Amino acid sequence: MPITGENLIGAAARRGGGETFRAVEAATGNSLEPAFAAATPADVDQACALAAEAFDTYRETSLEDRARFLEAVAEAILGIGDELIVRCMAESGLPRARLEGERGRTVGQLKMFAGVVRDGGFLEARVDPAQPERKPLPRPDLRLRQIAVGPVAVFGASNFPLAFSVAGGDTASALAAGCPVVAKAHPAHPGTSELVGRAVQAAVKQCGLPEGVFSLLMDAGISVGQALVADPRIAAVGFTGSRRGGVALMQAAAARPVPIPVYAEMSSINPVVLLPAALEARGRDIGRAFAGSLTLGSGQFCTNPGLILAVEGAGLDGFVEAASAALTEIQAATMLTPGIHKAYCAGVAALETNPAVTTLARGLAGGTHQGQAALFSTTADAFLADHTLAEEVFGAASLVVRCRDLATIKAVLERLEGQLTAALHLDEADHDAARALLPVLERRVGRILVNGFGTGVEVGHAMVHGGPYPATSDGRTTSVGSLAIHRFLRPVSYQDLPDALLPAALKDANPLKLWRRQDGKAVAPGA
Ligand SMILES: NC(=O)C1=CN([C@@H]2O[C@H](COP(=O)(O)OP(=O)(O)OC[C@H]3O[C@@H](n4cnc5c(N)ncnc54)[C@H](OP(=O)(O)O)[C@@H]3O)[C@@H](O)[C@H]2O)C=CC1
Ligand SMILES: O=C(O)CCC(=O)C(=O)O
């Protein structure tokens, strides 16, 4: 499939009239062909107009048709073949195995949402039948279902060019909910974005859906994204990226005459707490495993373990020695973009020159665009006194905070901002300590895990990839897993509508065979 550098607006592929730019080969910094052209305000307008036009038809597609469409998107992505992986490797610098795995996750995610749609449970159908004889007042017939919110703007992430990008989790969950999507390609991987965008476009056509169900816009700056969020036809936004970018979009969305929700997944340092019995029994093993998680994908995961908390002593020393030894042998790896590499180097330099911070280990030095792993340590007092030490350094850098006792660990956790994940390394003898920390962790993070690291989010029904601000803009939800569909739904109540006018989900005969709540009780179809 040739990459043309065009915007995909509904069924059309059209060269933008804006600034031209090229993708950059992550490993070399060289430009890649072809030239892309940014969308113009007229392109944004047309993509949004088509999305709005498609909305009422698309949101009322049958559950089976919508599920088949999601499966068709998955098949079309696989149908691109190796060309997708090769282009993505060049643009992102990520290795083949990782990208093949990420493609599997992307396709699996679309198929999972197809299952969610077929099941129909997301409609949350509820029926409170009329009680005409009720005294002192009769009760009306009340029925509720969830409907799609409207067209959604999706911003592709730089660090997951497939699973969090054009047809990633935000797009899959929005399409599953019944929302058309206008995606903004990340300029770090425009060719990958176009290939995936064309696959979605082909699936829209194959399934006979209105063309406005999907559009893809290119830009190497912020004007297209700003125009998209400001467009009155856009009803919600999905974003993964920096705190600065996410907050700017939240502000733009809040400043509209009709404000809309922005679901932004932003910064996180993902505290890892090493509890005493586990440290003593296997501190060195944990240290080696930690070095692997820290350097996965050159550390470019928002779930990267950026903060280690433990009580000082021989166990922690063993952890630090093993982690440092492992890290010093780890090759530097190409980072996603020169800008991300530069930001990483600046973050590491700030830690290296902070008088309260000791450098414990550096990985092997690498080439121009390669990130060199780094491990630092400080005391709990210094950490609590300097808020810059709690800022995310995006890449393979982490900070060990030496604490006096469990109460100090708790005090540090209390001071942290919202996080995506927290990990506890524990043995049975640590259960009381863990029990004391769990209430703090529940308040601070979206996912608590034991004897592991947060990198590598499982796509499933019980996953929360979210957390209180600034991990995300809205800690009540998730950007990964089936619950993500609820970001793009809202409830509507129908009072005393004749059966003929009710949506299928709420008709007396229950033609969709849904589990429904009748007077608050779950009722099986046919019961
Ligand atoms: N926590 C996480 O999950 C991640 C964090 N990051 C952090 O973000 C830094 C930069 O990486 P990057 O991926 O480019 O993230 P950004 O947040 O800078 O960009 C993400 C997307 O949002 C757009 N965008 C950014 N700011 C605005 C704005 N004010 N208005 C409209 N659109 C905007 C960008 O457009 P354009 O690029 O065209 O300007 C891009 O398409 C990294 O160094 C890292 O610190 C990155 C990836 C994931
Ligand atoms: O760890 C993962 O699998 C996902 C991480 C993520 O969401 C991110 O880095 O943006």
Q: Is 428 marked active-site?
A: no
Q: Is the CB of 248 under 6 A from ligand 1?
A: yes
Spacing, Cα 143 to ligand 2 middle (Å)? 38
Task: Supply the DSSP symbol for 39.
Answer: P
Q: Environment class of residue 137 by beta-carbon count within 10 Å: exposed (0-12), middle (13-18) or buried (19+)? A: exposed
Q: What is the pLDDT averaged over residues 51-55? A: 98
| Nearest Cα to Cα of residue 126 among 513, 490, 520, 509 | 520
| Nearest Cα to Cα of residue 488 among 134, 170, 56 | 170
How many angstroms separate the CA atoms of 261 and 405, rounded?
A: 41
Spacing, Cα 240 to ligand 2 middle (Å)? 9
How many angstroms separate the CA atoms of 289 and 116, rounded?
A: 35
Alpha carbon of 396 to those of 157, 247, 269, 298, 344: distances in Å?
18, 24, 11, 6, 8
In testing the pocket of ligand 1, which one of 36, 158, 224, 341 has its CB within 8 Å of the most ligand atoms? 158
Q: ipTM of this model?
A: 0.95
Greatest alpha-carbon pair distance for the chain in Å reads 80
Spacing, Cα 58 to ligand 1 middle (Å)? 30
Q: Is the CB of 221 under 6 A from ligand 1?
A: yes
* Helices and strands: H and E segment counts in the chain: 14, 23
Question: With helix as H, strand as E and coil as C, how does 454-522 read?
Answer: CCCCCCCCCCCCCCCCCCECCCCCCCCCHHHHHHHEEEEEEECCCHHHCCHHHCCCCCCCCCEEECCEE
The confidence score (pLDDT) of residue 182 equals 99
| Nearest Cα to Cα of residue 333 among 267, 395, 242, 393 | 395
Q: Is the CB of 262 under 6 A from ligand 1?
A: no
H or E segment at 34?
Answer: strand 31-37
The confidence score (pLDDT) of residue 1 equals 81
For the stretch 389-411, pLDDT in tens is 999 999 999 999 999 999 999 99
Whether the CA torsion 343, 349, 307, 91 is positive or negative: it is positive
The structure tokens 């999507």 sit at 181
How many angstroms separate the CA atoms of 527 and 508, rounded?
A: 12
Spacing, Cα 391 to ligand 1 middle (Å)? 16
Do 102 and 221 meet the contact criterion of CB atoms below 8 Å apart? no
The confidence score (pLDDT) of residue 293 equals 97
Tokens linked to 406: 């469990």
Q: Is the CB of 159 under 6 A from ligand 1?
A: yes
Nearest atom in ligand 1 to 156's CA: 41
**Helix pair 63-80, 169-177: axis angle to 10 deg:** 150
- Output the DSSP codes for 124-146: --EEE--BTT-SSSPBPPEEEEE
CA dihedral 438, 441, 442, 443 (to 10 degrees): 130
Tokens linked to 230: 């400001």
Whether the CA torsion 28, 33, 38, 44 is positive or negative: it is negative
The confidence score (pLDDT) of residue 46 equals 98
Q: Is 302 marked active-site?
A: yes
CA angle 87, 341, 263 (to 5 degrees): 75
How many angstroms separate the CA atoms of 230 and 224, rounded?
A: 10
Task: Supply the DSSP symbol for 321.
Answer: H
Q: What is the pLDDT averaged over residues 129-143? A: 98
pLDDT above 90 for 159: yes
Spacing, Cα 456 to ligand 2 middle (Å)? 6
Q: 200-204, 367-371, 420-424 — which is least confidently predicted?
A: 367-371
Q: Which ligand is closest in space to the CA of residue 238?
A: 1
| 3 state SS of 216 | strand
In testing the pocket of ligand 1, which one of 222, 270, 348 has its CB within 8 Å of the most ligand atoms? 222
| Nearest Cα to Cα of residue 31 among 20, 40, 39 | 20
Q: Is the CB of 330 under 6 A from ligand 2?
A: no
Across all residues in the chain, what is the average pLDDT? Answer: 97
pLDDT above 90 for 147: yes
For the stretch 100-127, pLDDT in tens is 999 999 999 999 999 999 999 999 999 9
Q: Is the CB of 217 under 6 A from ligand 1?
A: no
pLDDT category of residue 526 using cuts at 50, 70 and 90: confident
Nearest atom in ligand 1 to 223's CA: 31
For the beta sheet containing 521-523, the strands, ordered from the edge strand earlier in sequence to the opposite edge, are 489-495, 142-148, 126-128, 516-518, 521-523
pLDDT category of residue 204 using cuts at 50, 70 and 90: very high
Give the residue, by CA position, lying nearest to ligand 2 atom 7. Answer: 302
Q: Which ligand is closest in space to the CA of residue 342?
A: 1
pLDDT category of residue 176 using cuts at 50, 70 and 90: very high
Q: Is the CB of 220 under 6 A from ligand 1?
A: yes
Residues 6+ away with beta carbon under 8 Å from 102: 94, 160, 161, 162, 163
Nearest atom in ligand 2 to 302's CA: 9
Give the residue, by CA position, lying nearest to ligand 2 atom 3. Answer: 456
Do 214 and 204 meet the contact criterion of CB atoms below 8 Å apart? yes
Give the residue, by CA position, lying nearest to ligand 1 atom 7. Answer: 242
How many angstroms separate the CA atoms of 170 and 465, rounded?
A: 12
Do 235 and 179 meet the contact criterion of CB atoms below 8 Å apart? yes
Percent of the chain with pLDDT over 90: 99
pLDDT above 90 for 225: yes
CA 499 and chain centroid, separation: 40
How many angstroms separate the CA atoms of 373 and 367, rounded?
A: 13
pLDDT category of residue 527 using cuts at 50, 70 and 90: confident
Q: Which of 302, 312, 392, 403 is catalytic?
A: 302
Q: Is the CB of 421 under 6 A from ligand 2?
A: no
- Please compute, for residue 442, the number of CA atoms within 13 A of its CA located in the half-sphere on the CB side: 6
In 329-381, which ranges are E strands? 333-334, 358-362, 370-371, 374-379
For the stretch 308-343, pLDDT in tens is 999 999 999 999 999 999 999 999 999 999 999 999
ω before 136 within 30° of 0 (cis)? yes
pTM of the model: 0.97
Q: What is the pLDDT averaged over residues 366-394? A: 97
Spacing, Cα 412 to ligand 1 middle (Å)? 28
